[in-house]
Amino acid sequence: MFRIGQGFDVHKLTEGRPLIIGGITIPYEKGLIGHSDADVLLHTVADACLGAIGAGDIGKHFPDTDEAFKDADSAKLLEHVWKLVKEQGYELCNADCTIIAQKPKMAPYIGAMRERIAELLETDPSRINVKATTTEKLGFAGRGEGIASQVAVLLQKRTR
């Protein structure tokens, strides 16, 4: 039994915040803002996983009106989501992630993101792909106002 899920998220860039994407802190003049640490990629992975098991979205599980999630470490949120996936008896086939950002260059950090996401989803990094694209300076991402990401995951029912 296979289940597919997809996620999409956007966070605004602002001065005075660290830039955390895929669990990795990236040196940059701006960072993403949110109720949590605003790790747009880990949020998107979590949403894709929740989608695959038909369990709603991260806003449902971690409301941005709840002080408990203020400045939350998104890795902890994803760990919780992954526990729900495991409770339903699934494991990861693969995840394919796209970061949509004009700047900064993600390429130097892609390997570390891949390893961190693999660690959080208890799988081998070969099952995780992370890529990045600009929008050729078009739209909010192109103007450097925010960063978006898209993720597709495929889960399969554990046989052991």
Ligand X SMILES: Nc1ccn([C@@H]2O[C@H](COP(=O)(O)O)[C@@H](O)[C@H]2O)c(=O)n1
Q: Site for ligand CDI (CB under 6 A): which residue of 9, 30, 53, 97?
A: 9
Residue type, 141: A
Give the binding range for ligand X (CB under 6 A) out of 31-39, 65-73, 101-109, 151-159: 101-109
Name the residue with the smallest CB distance to ligand CDI.
Answer: 34
Q: Would you count residue 143 as binding ligand X (CB under 6 A)?
A: no
Residue 69 binds which of ligand X, ligand CDI, none (CB < 5-8 A, kind-dependent): ligand CDI
Residue 157 CA to residue 63 CA, distance in Å, equals 29
Inter-residue contact 149 to 98 (CB < 8 Å): yes
C-alpha neighbours within 13 Å on the C-beta side of residue 159: 4
Inter-residue contact 31 to 38 (CB < 8 Å): yes
* Neighbouring-strand partners of residue 99: 132, 149
Question: Which tokens hold the place of 30?
Answer: 């701006």
Closest approach of Cβ 138 to ligand X, in Å? 10
Q: Would you count residue 134 as binding ligand X (CB under 6 A)?
A: yes
Angle made by CA atoms 22, 95, 97, in degrees to the nearest 5: 50
Question: Which tokens hold the place of 4?
Answer: 């597919």
Q: Site for ligand X (CB under 6 A): which residue of 40, 78, 132, 152?
A: 132
Q: Binding mask 50-89 vs ligand X (x if CB under 6 A, - otherwise)?
A: ----------------------------------------
Which CB sits closer to ligand CDI, 121 or 127?
121
Cis peptide before 104 (omega within 30 of 0): yes
Tell me which residues touch ligand X (CB under 6 A). Answer: 101, 105-107, 132-134
From the annotation, which residues make up the binding site?
9-11, 35-36, 43, 57-59, 62-66, 101-107, 133-136, 140, 143
